[in-house]
Structures are given as structure tokens and as C-alpha cells.
Amino acid sequence: MNLLLVGDIVGRPGRELVRRGLRAVIDAHEVDLVIANAENAAAGFGVTKDIGDSLLEAGIDVMTSGNHIWDKKEALDYIKAEPRLLRPANFPAGVPGRGSYVAQTGDGRAVGVINAMGRVFMQPLDDPFAVVLREIESIRHRSRVIIVDFHAEATSEKIAMGWHLDGRATAIIGTHTHVQTADERILPKGTAYLTDVGMTGPHDSIIGMEVEPSLARFLTGMPAKFEPATGNARLNAVLVEADERTGRATRVARIGYSERELEELVNRASTKGTPLRA
């Protein structure tokens, strides 16, 4: 089966790419299930019910998140009611929401999704290495295919998680840095790995935010208000082909589409199968 993991959707530019182009990407790559990181979907900070529902409507099956999950207060209620929205599994016990979900493809095949967050240069949550193993144990009987979104800053911690889970999960895909890395591979025991899948949002930006205020903060050390940028929207994602009998990955490929490339894909899809007129 083919799984697609879409990198952090940032603000309206990111949501628009998903709304207009995701179906065409799904068709073009024969995708069976879509996971997307939604932590920056609401103007760069968090996610709301309206926005989450619209992403599910656009073809996303499971939403993961990370350090921005609580930025919008209403996410607290939304995550309690919507099992397809995950927060990192290694938040302390008692925190609302869940860190894993077993989804079904359109034809009823199970796909487990786990979300965890790193601790290096980030909030010190519970040990993600131990927590992810526990989550895998708790869903393994329901799904051999298991995808982990590891939301982390440090490349070393992400690679360590890849080796830790080699042979135990189908894929470990990194999120959070908003910059796609070129190190996709299948580890020796069959686990697909990519340090970061990148960002679905405006790329003429500083990781999604307008250049001026973000740059000013580096230049002056003073606080600034950040708004999502608008220019050069791109969809970044990764495709993982999985053998559902073994849970192993058989292929991993990064993908990226500019707005124009996505438009062309949509147009190709809509003309495909149109009968020629005399």
C-alpha cells in the first residue's frame, strides 16, 4: 500500500495547496492513506476545529502535530472529540488527546499512526524512545503497518529514533524543522526513514513566517509578531510504499510540488478520461 505523509501545513497558503491539490497528488501516486502534520495550520500557530475539519474534508486521514498543538485554546476540546488529530504521545499522563490512532484505508486495511516529540532543544517531555515502543506494542495487534511522525529539532535525535525503531515500525518520518532533508532511505530491517519531510506552505519565508519580523528578531534580539508569509507556496511530502503482510517499507520517496506544478497535476487529472469531441 502507498502512504503519503505531508509536511507541516503552514497557514492559509499551506491549506490552500492541500485543498486544491491533494486529491490530484493522491490520484497521481495511487495513495491509500494520507497523514499530515497540522500543528501550524491556523495562521502558523496550532489548529482549530474548522481548519482541522476542512483538512479531513480535503483528503487527509490522520493529522499529527507537535510543539504548537496547544497554541489555539479550542484545540483542547477538538482533540478530545476528534481521534484523527494526534498530539505527541510523550506528553505526561493526563494530558488531553492521544498519541496514536489506527486508521483504515478506503478498502479497509489498517494503518497505525504514532506521533512523538523530541527533547533536544525542545520542551523536556517524557522519554520519546520508551513511549514510542509502548505505543507500538499497544497498536501492533491491530496493524502491522505503523508510521511514526517524530517531531523533533535535532537531526541526531531523529536518526537515533530511526535506528531505535528499525524493524519495529514501517516508517519514521521527521517533522518540525520545515526544511526537507535529502536522506531518505530504508534501514537494514525494513524501516523507511527521512529526517524531515519539510513544509507545506510559503517557502519565501523563514520556516513559513514573513521574513522581515523573523529576521528582525535575529538582528535586534527583540520580540516581534509573526505572521505566515504568502510567497512561493510549496507542498512537501514523502511517499512510503509498505508491504502490509510484513509491515516493512519497500520504497520511500520525497516529493515536492510548487503551486504551478500542483495546478498542472490537477489539470492533467481533470482532462484524463475526458472524451475527445469531434
State the catalytic residues. 68
User: Shortest Cβ distance from residue 122 to Fe ion (Å)?
Assistant: 8
| 246 Cβ contact list (under 8 Å, min separation 6) | 144, 190
161 vs 174: CA distance, rounded Å: 10
Q: What is the largest CA-CA distance in the chain?
A: 67
* Three cell numbers, residue 219: 538582528
Residue (88 or 247) nearer to Fe ion, CB: 88
Q: Is 8 in the site for Fe ion (CB under 5 A)?
A: yes
Binding test (CB under 5 A) with Fe ion, winner from 158, 168, 176, 234: 176
177 vs 198: CA distance, rounded Å: 7
Q: Is 40 in the site for Fe ion (CB under 5 A)?
A: yes
> Considering CB under 5 A, how many residues would be counted as binding Fe ion?
6
Span interacting with Fe ion, options 74-82, 101-109, 113-121, 170-178, rule CB under 5 A: 170-178
Span interacting with Fe ion, options 27-35, 124-132, 137-145, 171-179, rule CB under 5 A: 171-179
Residue (201 or 247) nearer to Fe ion, CB: 201
Binding test (CB under 5 A) with Fe ion, winner from 11, 14, 46, 66: 66
Q: Alpha helix locations (H) across the chain?
A: 11-28, 49-57, 75-81, 128-139, 155-165, 211-220, 259-271
Residue 262 φ/ψ, nearest 5 degrees:
-70, -40
Binding test (CB under 5 A) with Fe ion, winner from 64, 65, 67, 143: 67
Where does this chain bind Fe ion (CB under 5 A)? 8, 39-40, 66-67, 176
